């Protein structure tokens, strides 16, 4: 499948039923379009099975609650709908996107209690998020935008509005020939990439930012478990920018990114070392087990 995302063959699940891909539309006065009242999940199916599927559906409900709305479909119903989408499109290996939002209704202002909450689930075939970076390591810019304080935004929700600065940061990075950008948080600590968590290696030990103002990704949690199984010492902590110079290896984690080695962040270089390779290969095996 290729081409514009609004002009493809296939089926998308919307509000309880499968509809033709090209007919999966919303009104221009949809609340989410104007006020970012939307949450979503990115998931991957391997060999017909969505990795950590239920955890994703549960997090979708959690994120909606953070934005003060409830999804009118249960976790079980969402799980069934995702399988229905995969089957309808004939996919076994695919990216799955579930999105819930405040739709159009009687309210057209900041408040929207009277507007219905809607839900859609789509799936498509998607290869490596960073292309050939899986082999040689991604090149990252350093973003000027910072992840916000939990006091200013629901930073632990997977909410659409939190990605506005990520889009701008990634565009600027791509203009410089980079695959992505690393972001600091509001205090100046290393946080994450625009859509992936980040890990570093020094002297055989792993260092990763403490997720106290950004999403604690499900892939991140999976990789932490893999490291524990390998008895690798892990430091979840605040990381200062000047520490980047001393790290030897680096990788990103995320459902789309999977485990992607990083070769460069700004002027700092990293080797695609044995631990990075081991975790990347191990993750590939785990999700297809």
> Residue 128 and residue 256: Cα distance in Å, rounded?
8
What is the rounded (10 degree) CA torsion for 147, 150, 153, 158?
70
> Residue 259 and residue 267: Cα distance in Å, rounded?
22
Q: Is 279 helix (H, G, I), strand (E, B) or coil?
A: helix
> Residue 77 and residue 82: Cα distance in Å, rounded?
9
Element holding 178 (H helix, E strand): none
**Residues with catalytic roles:** 158
Tokens linked to 180: 């992505």
Closest C-alpha to 58, from 44, 39, 33: 39
DSSP one-letter string for 113-136: TTSPEEEEEEEE----TTTTHHHH
DSSP state of 159: B
Closest C-alpha to 20, from 29, 30, 10: 10
Neighbours of 188 (CB within 10 A): 11
């Amino acid at each position: 499948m290729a081409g514009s995302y609004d002009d493809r063959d296939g089926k998308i699940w919307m509000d309880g039923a499968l509809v033709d891909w090209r007919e999966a539309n919303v009104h221009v006065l949809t609340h989410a379009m104007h006020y970012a009242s939307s949450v979503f999940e990115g998931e991957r199916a391997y060999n017909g099975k969505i990795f950590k599927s239920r955890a994703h559906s549960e997090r979708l409900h959690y994120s909606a609650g953070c934005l003060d709305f409830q999804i009118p479909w249960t976790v079980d119903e969402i799980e069934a709908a995702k399988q229905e989408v995969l089957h309808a499109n004939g996919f076994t290996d695919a990216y799955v996107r579930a999105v819930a939002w405040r739709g159009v209704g009687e309210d057209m202002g900041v408040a929207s209690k009277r507007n219905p909450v809607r839900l859609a689930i789509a799936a498509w075939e998607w290869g490596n998020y960073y292309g050939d970076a899986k082999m040689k390591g991604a090149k990252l810019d350093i973003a000027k935008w910072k992840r916000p304080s939990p006091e200013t935004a629901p930073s632990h929700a997977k909410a659409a509005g939190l990605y506005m600065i990520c889009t701008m940061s990634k565009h600027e990075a791509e203009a410089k020939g980079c695959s992505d950008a690393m972001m600091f948080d509001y205090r100046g600590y290393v946080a994450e990439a625009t859509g992936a968590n980040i890990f570093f290696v020094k002297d055989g030990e792993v260092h990763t930012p403490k997720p106290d103002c950004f999403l604690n990704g499900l892939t991140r949690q999976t990789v932490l478990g893999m490291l524990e199984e390998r008895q690798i010492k892990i430091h979840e902590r605040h990381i200062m920018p000047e520490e980047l110079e001393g790290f030897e290896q680096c990788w990103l984690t995320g459902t789309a990114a999977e485990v992607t080695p990083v070769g460069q962040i700004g002027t700092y270089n990293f080797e695609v070392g044995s631990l990075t390779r081991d975790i990347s290969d191990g993750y590939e095996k785990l999700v297809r087990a």
